[in-house]
Amino acid sequence: MNSELYRHAASATAGGALGSLMRFGVGVWFVHHHPESKFPWNTLALNLAGCLMIGLIYGWVENRWLFGIHLRHFLITGILGGFTTFSAFGAESVFLFRRGESLLAGAYILASVAGGLILAWAGERLSYTILSR
């Protein structure tokens, strides 16, 4: 492994630690404030916020030399990779189906997938709009 690859890995690792800590904090806050919720709002909110943020970042960094690859690994692979969680989304969807909450599970899946795509697109468009002024 060359030294450049080590720097990429270090950037992603540092960002991942920060993103995971942020995700943990949001999860703890949510459970503390909404202990009886049946719907996995915290994971939905984290994943949708992550989609918006990745759209903003991609729109902002495209064709910008000052935004180096290390910062991209730190923000996108690291922070957003640690902050969002597709595995929790999958497990929570299955859990809702097993509990007999098919309508809730369907709503969660639709909100996560459609909402994520819409917010990633909106973030990118917003970034282009802001930066083109």
pLDDT digits (tens, 9 = 90+) for 22-42: 999 999 999 999 999 999 999
CB 13 within 8 A of CB 76: no
Tell if the pTM clears 0.85, that is, is over it.
no
Q: Is the pLDDT of residue 133 over 80?
A: no
- 38-42, 50-54, 62-66: the lowest-pLDDT one: 62-66
